[in-house]
Amino acid sequence: MSALDELKRDRRGLMVVLSSPSGAGKTTLTRKLLADNPDMAMSVSATTRPPRPGEEEGKDYFFVNKSRFAELEAAGEFLEHAKVFDNYYATPRGPVEEALSRGQDVVFDIDWQGAQQLTQAAADDIVKIFILPPNMRELEQRLRTRAQDSDSVIAKRMSKSEAEISHWAEYDYVIVNEEVSTALEELKMIVGSERMRRRRQMWLGGFVKSLVNGG
């Protein structure tokens, strides 16, 4: 590794937020992005719900009770939080900021409301990407192909998807996921470009100074 390559490793990490209506392929794209970029990490949420069989503390979730969750929220320890049915979910601030400071990119699989909260908490570190289906017929077909939901649940998901899609303009980038391979390449290009933003290249100040001084 050259001296310049070593310098370039000193950069600020990136918060990659992916949102989409259910069935648009966000989870598939997230998994493929992480598989192709082992240096990236998936954000681990805190939750008040009990662990499910096979889930591990710190890997799948940080499991806390409701009183502890309230304490952490009051102390400003969450970047975003939400209530889903009878349980609470949140993104702990500490692990994310630690990862960003050492140049590691963190991926978030959250909805538009969580994306808004993250933007308020860390606007300079975030890039928001919305995943759209090619059309609504394809979206419904993908939901049915998964064979995970009843007709009534699929109908509710389709109804909710229209409200979710209405927030597309709040995102920095939009990818229409017609072919997964093409969408993945577009996602990688976005991440690569955002990594190159000047404010994230922590090494540039010293490098330019050395150039000016004849280094």
Q: Can you spell out the DSSP letters for 109-169?
A: E--HHHHHHHHHHHGGGEEEEEEE-S-HHHHHHHHHHHT-S-HHHHHHHHHHHHHHHTTGG
Dihedral pair phi/psi, residue 43, rounded to 5°: -65, 135
pLDDT of residue 215: 60
Residues of the chain with CATH 3.30.63.10: 44-104
> Do 26 and 184 meet the contact criterion of CB atoms below 8 Å apart?
no
Is the CATH number of domain 44-104 3.40.50.2300? Answer: no
> Consecutive 10-residue runs of the chain (215 residues): their mean pLDDT?
84 95 90 95 95 92 96 96 89 96 94 94 96 88 75 80 93 96 98 94 92 83
Dist. CA 161–CA 20, nearest whole Å: 8
| C-alpha pair distances (Å), 171 with each of 94, 125, 138, 208 | 25, 14, 22, 33
Nearest to 128 by CA among 191, 177, 179, 182: 191
pTM: 0.86
CA distance 68 to 114: 21
* pLDDT at residue 1, as a whole number: 75
pLDDT at residue 22, rounded to an integer: 84
- The CATH code belonging to domain 1-40+105-215 is 3.40.50.300
Over residues 126-156, the pLDDT tens digits come to 999 999 998 888 888 878 876 666 777 787 7
**Chain region(s) in the chain for CATH 3.40.50.300:** 1-40+105-215
